[in-house]
Amino acid sequence: MMSFRETANDLTTKVKLALEKREELIKNYQKIRNDLRISKAENEHLLDMIVEAFPEMGQDVSSCSSSEEYLSQSGDECSIDASLGILKNGKHDLLDSPTSALGSSHMTKRRRRQGKRDDRNDPKPIEQLPRDADGNLVFPIVVGKGQDQIEIHNLGRIKWEPETYHTSRYIWTVGFRSTRVYPSIVTGEPGCTYTSEILEGNGDMPVFQVTPADMPDKPFRANSSSGVWKQILDALTSKGASVKTHASGPQMYGLSHLGVTKAIQELENADKCSKYIMQKWAEPDKSHSVVATAMSSESESAED
């Protein structure tokens, strides 16, 4: 039978081992938590790249309610198309060729979508923005209608270096600011104004910040426009709000509007953005007005 001292020493040893085990578990927990934070940031950036490069996939990406589902679900509905070489069967699979895992029918469909999606060399119709008598833009610029209406208050300035401040399709102008109305995270009710901004980061990346009017001291920040809005959509979803689970950041900011694209392209130093591909614009078609005038003249002659 163990003496009191032996029992005490045995308990002391066990407590010491338990504390050491606890410290080890805390360190492992902190490491896992940090890894998850990094993975979440990478996933947000990845989603942003996908939506910007493949806008037609926005609805497919939205079918998953959170970033974690991309790693836990292997169903076709909630796994990003293997043609992107990003995720396959719930795991990260980087493919050398975006089409290496596709059959011929999928390749044809993807090729057709890509051709239809966006070609900067394909002239787009000019969407006029309001200007004053001197040709200056009149703020706020209102784009979209109804629930998708956005007011742009500042186009910002172009920072062409480093190259992270622009992509082939968008220029992340420092100081850009827009507002839109969306359901409140606090109350869940519609009618909360969200202010979306692009800020100059301390490092090599711009900071995308969105601030709800009823949470002025708790802005959301991320290194991508889609990433920051994903945080908001996640917060709203957790509150039971009926909203999308993912959205295009440029669209939520108002940057995808062709009139805004043209206005930003016309800012000083836009030509210095080495990766950016300038959108070409179609000249107004005057043939219709000429035909209409000719028909009107013929009609008047016949009446005479």
Look at residue 51 in the predicted model and tell me its pLDDT.
62
Same domain for 159 and 254, yes or no, is: yes
Check residue 136 and report its DSSP letter: P
Same domain for 144 and 214, yes or no, is: yes
Same domain for 278 and 135, yes or no, is: yes
**189 part of a folded domain:** yes
Q: Residue 258 in contact with residue 128, Cβ under 8 Å?
A: no
Q: What is the CATH number of the domain that holds 231?
A: 3.30.160.360
Residue 68 has pLDDT above 70, yes or no: no
Residue range 124-148: mean pLDDT, rounded: 93
Quote the CA–CA distance of 84 and 70 in Å, as a whole number: 14
**262 part of a folded domain:** yes
pTM assigned to the model: 0.60
Q: Beta strands 141-143 and 150-154: pairing type?
A: antiparallel
**174 part of a folded domain:** yes
Same domain for 82 and 128, yes or no, is: no
**163 part of a folded domain:** yes
Same domain for 159 and 278, yes or no, is: yes
Same domain for 170 and 276, yes or no, is: yes
The torsion region of residue 179 among left (phi > 0), alpha (psi -120 to 50) and beta comes to: beta
Integer angstrom CA distances of residue 298 from 286, 291, 302: 19, 11, 6
Residue range 99-125: mean pLDDT, rounded: 56
Residue 116 has pLDDT above 50, yes or no: no
Please list, in sequence order, all residues whose beta carbon lies within 8 angstroms of the beta carbon of residue 52, skipping any fewer than 6 positions away: 167, 169, 170, 226, 248, 249, 250
Same domain for 86 and 152, yes or no, is: no
Same domain for 27 and 136, yes or no, is: no
**291 part of a folded domain:** no
Lowest-confidence region among 19-33, 111-125, 146-160, 250-264: 111-125
DSSP for 146-207, written as a single string: GGG-EEEEE--B---SSGGGB-SS-B--BT-EEEEEE--TTT--S-EEEEEEEE--SSSS-E
Q: How confident is the model at residue 6 (pLDDT cuts 50, 70, 90)?
A: confident
Look at residue 281 in the predicted model and tell me its pLDDT.
92
Lowest-confidence region among 47-51, 99-103, 177-181, 224-228: 99-103
The tokens for 276 are 């950016």
Same domain for 166 and 72, yes or no, is: no
**Looking up tokens 């085990």, which residue turns up?**
21
Same domain for 138 and 224, yes or no, is: yes
**Residues 181-240: tens digit of each pLDDT:** 999 999 989 999 999 999 998 878 999 999 999 999 999 999 999 999 999 999 999 988
Same domain for 180 and 75, yes or no, is: no
Domain that holds residue 67: 4-92
Quote the CA–CA distance of 37 and 41 in Å, as a whole number: 6
Look at residue 4 in the predicted model and tell me its pLDDT.
80
Same domain for 128 and 271, yes or no, is: yes
**204 part of a folded domain:** yes
**108 part of a folded domain:** no
**137 part of a folded domain:** yes
**How many domains would you assign to the chain?**
2
The tokens for 129 are 């923005």
Residue 286 has pLDDT above 60, yes or no: no
Q: How confident is the model at residue 151 (pLDDT cuts 50, 70, 90)?
A: very high
Residue 69 belongs to what H/E stretch? helix 67-72
Segments of the chain assigned E as strands = 87-88, 91-92, 124-125, 141-143, 150-154, 177-182, 192-199, 207-212, 220-222, 281-282
